[in-house]
């Protein structure tokens, strides 16, 4: 019977159905050792060593040795410090550490030539039959091995004023060698790009935390705050670079935004006639791009991906912070937790400000700030977003990586607020209850950011989440 005589899939000849399946396995072998030594309660030493073997690598490159060591000096235990009678200083510890870690999360058989099995229909004179096929689709790198990260850390721990004030500070340097990245190979080879050890990355950062707690009569209070920052810059990549919307390139911050610079929107046809264009069918209200360069190193009147894209800024979050506040008075307690980011270049997703006809929605944010020929020139001069269109101009406006859509995604978020009251035991004992705590809580009640209303600023790297607020009323009973 001819295939064309089956108008419905569930009536199809089962001889032409396909099946899929796979199996894989991996194994590890590890050895671990630790030595700790304490001298006079003041000098603390610790040395760790581990040797890991992974079946993900060829037997000749399977093992990795990852040592670490740390030293701590409790300054306040020194006799000469005690003799100084520093009443404000309760505890002080200096720390220094060095450690290495390995990474091998790259799939199970990167060093082996794997044959992928499949099937294709083959036509004969009288019938169609299914024939099994086999092909190597991934290029194998035989000497691929562990990615290694080496970290230096220097820190201090302080406790002062009868342990009411606590301070912790750290600075660190983290260098990653033999990074496991996808190596670009010529398409003519017919293989997918393989994983290989082709990159180094250098990260520097710091962390700081401070806290205070005290009690005044029936009133107790405590607060803590932490903040940190880091910067990762790519080192030697052996000629490798990735030039998508985020760039991986030697000497550039890891995953920096990469695309076109935009001075804004076209405001008139005259501007279009005198500008370099990415698409020829643009109209007033479409995104405009800057002609940065050309084959000769000078602007050539053409917007071209090879010559007119540039590094637009870091995509990593900076100055990440968080904190807690706890207030208590007699049987009442109020606790709050918050977090945020001081600066991050986030990208406005198309779904956040513009929906086409298939989505059946039109965000209020876009309605207020989009360019329209029905608005006055003064209103359009304040427009944040391009005109609404379903034509190919949408490719010019929404499908290009450009700093037109980048903004400071810094935010402050109140993560939790809880108010509780513990009923006095003299009352709970009358009903045979040991402890009764009544509470009401709000999770993610509000945040402050430049994100369009309703969108979750915490998901700045995956803009697909709405903010969910949760309010709870409850009781905890202990019998």
Q: Could you tell me how far CA 207 lies from the centroid of its own chain?
A: 18
Nearest to 359 by CA among 380, 388, 337: 388
Mean pLDDT for the stretch of residues 361-386 = 82
Q: For residue range 448-458, what is the model confidence (pLDDT) as tens digits?
A: 999 887 788 88
pLDDT, the chain, mean = 88
- Residue 340: pLDDT band (50, 70, 90) is very high
- pLDDT value of position 365: 67
Asked whether 62 and 53 are in contact (CB, 8 A), the reply is: yes
Mean pLDDT for the stretch of residues 21-41 = 90
Asked whether 184 and 248 are in contact (CB, 8 A), the reply is: no
Percent of the chain residues past pLDDT 90, beyond the cut: 57
- Residue 388: pLDDT band (50, 70, 90) is confident
CA distances from 254 to 172, 237, 246, 315 (A): 17, 12, 8, 8
- Which of 17-21, 23-27, 393-397 shows the lowest per-residue confidence on average (mean pLDDT)? 17-21
Burial class from Cβ neighbours inside 10 Å (0-12, 13-18, 19+) for residue 237 reads: buried
- pLDDT value of position 1: 46
- pLDDT value of position 464: 58
- pLDDT value of position 5: 59
Residue 360 has pLDDT above 80, yes or no: no
- pLDDT value of position 256: 93
- pLDDT value of position 10: 60
Mean pLDDT for the stretch of residues 292-316 = 91
Mean pLDDT for the stretch of residues 144-157 = 96
Residue 300 has pLDDT above 80, yes or no: yes
- Residue 363: pLDDT band (50, 70, 90) is low
Q: For residue range 400-440, what is the model confidence (pLDDT) as tens digits?
A: 999 999 999 999 999 999 999 998 888 888 888 888 899 99
- pLDDT value of position 101: 94
> What's the token pair of residue 357?
């006809």
- pLDDT value of position 166: 97
Mean pLDDT for the stretch of residues 146-166 = 96
Residue 2 has pLDDT above 90, yes or no: no
Tell which wins on pLDDT, 293 or 182.
293
Residue 277 has pLDDT above 70, yes or no: yes
Residue 3 has pLDDT above 60, yes or no: no
Residue 162 has pLDDT above 70, yes or no: yes
- Residue 99: pLDDT band (50, 70, 90) is very high
Nearest to 396 by CA among 257, 262, 198, 202: 262
CA distances from 223 to 167, 310, 414 (A): 12, 44, 15
- Residue 370: pLDDT band (50, 70, 90) is confident
Percent of the chain residues past pLDDT 70, beyond the cut: 91
- pLDDT value of position 18: 59
Residue 199 has pLDDT above 80, yes or no: yes
Residue 364 has pLDDT above 80, yes or no: no
Which residues does residue 218 pair with via DSSP β-bridges, in sequence order? none
Mean pLDDT for the stretch of residues 216-229 = 96
> What's the token pair of residue 297?
């190193």
Mean pLDDT for the stretch of residues 210-226 = 96
Q: How many residues does the chain have?
A: 479
Residue 461 has pLDDT above 70, yes or no: no
């Amino acid at each position: 019977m001819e295939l064309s005589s089956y108008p419905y899939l569930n009536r199809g000849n089962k001889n032409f159905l396909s099946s899929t399946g796979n199996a894989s396995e991996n194994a590890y072998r590890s050895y671990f050792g630790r030595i700790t030594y304490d001298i006079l309660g003041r000098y603390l030493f610790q040395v760790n060593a581990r040797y890991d073997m992974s079946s993900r690598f060829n037997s000749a490159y399977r093992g990795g040795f990852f040592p670490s060591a740390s030293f701590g000096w409790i300054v306040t235990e020194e006799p000469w410090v005690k003799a100084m009678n520093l009443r404000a200083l309760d505890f002080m510890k200096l720390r220094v550490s060095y450690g290495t870690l390995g990474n091998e999360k790259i799939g199970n058989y990167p060093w082996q030539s794997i044959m992928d099995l499949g099937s294709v229909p083959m036509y004969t004179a009288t019938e169609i039959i299914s024939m099994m096929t086999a092909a190597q689709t991934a290029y194998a790198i035989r000497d691929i091995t562990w990615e290694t990260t080496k970290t230096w850390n220097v820190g201090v721990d302080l406790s002062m004023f009868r342990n009411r004030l606590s301070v912790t500070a750290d600075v660190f340097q983290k260098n990653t060698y033999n990074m496991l990245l996808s190596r670009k190979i010529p398409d003519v080879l017919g293989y997918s790009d393989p994983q290989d050890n082709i990159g180094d990355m250098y990260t520097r950062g710091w962390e700081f935390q401070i806290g205070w707690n005290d009690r005044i009569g029936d009133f107790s209070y405590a607060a803590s705050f932490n903040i940190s920052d880091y910067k990762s810059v790519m080192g030697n990549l052996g000629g490798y670079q990735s030039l998508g919307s985020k760039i991986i390139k030697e000497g550039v911050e890891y995953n920096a935004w990469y695309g076109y610079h935009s001075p804004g929107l076209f405001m008139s046809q005259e501007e279009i006639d005198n500008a370099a264009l990415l698409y020829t069918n643009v109209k007033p209200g479409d995104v405009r791009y800057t002609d940065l360069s050309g084959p000769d190193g000078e602007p050539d009147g053409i917007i071209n991906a090879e010559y007119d894209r540039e590094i637009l800024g870091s995509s990593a979050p900076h100055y990440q912070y968080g904190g807690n506040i706890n207030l208590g008075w007699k049987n009442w307690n109020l606790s709050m937790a918050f977090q945020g980011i001081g600066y991050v270049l986030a990208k406005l997703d198309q779904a956040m400000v513009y929906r086409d006809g298939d989505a059946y929605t039109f965000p209020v944010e876009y309605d207020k700030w989009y360019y329209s020929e029905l608005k006055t020139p003064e209103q359009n001069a304040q427009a944040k977003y391009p005109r609404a269109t379903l034509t190919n101009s949408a490719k010019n406006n929404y499908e290009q990586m450009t700093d037109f859509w980048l903004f400071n995604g810094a935010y402050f978020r109140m993560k939790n607020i809880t108010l509780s009251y513990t009923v006095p035991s003299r009352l709970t004992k009358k009903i045979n209850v040991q402890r009764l705590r009544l509470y009401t809580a709000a999770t993610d009640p509000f945040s402050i950011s430049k994100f369009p209303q309703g969108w979750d600023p915490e998901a700045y790297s995956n803009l697909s989440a709405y903010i969910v607020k949760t309010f709870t009323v409850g009781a905890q009973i202990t019998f």
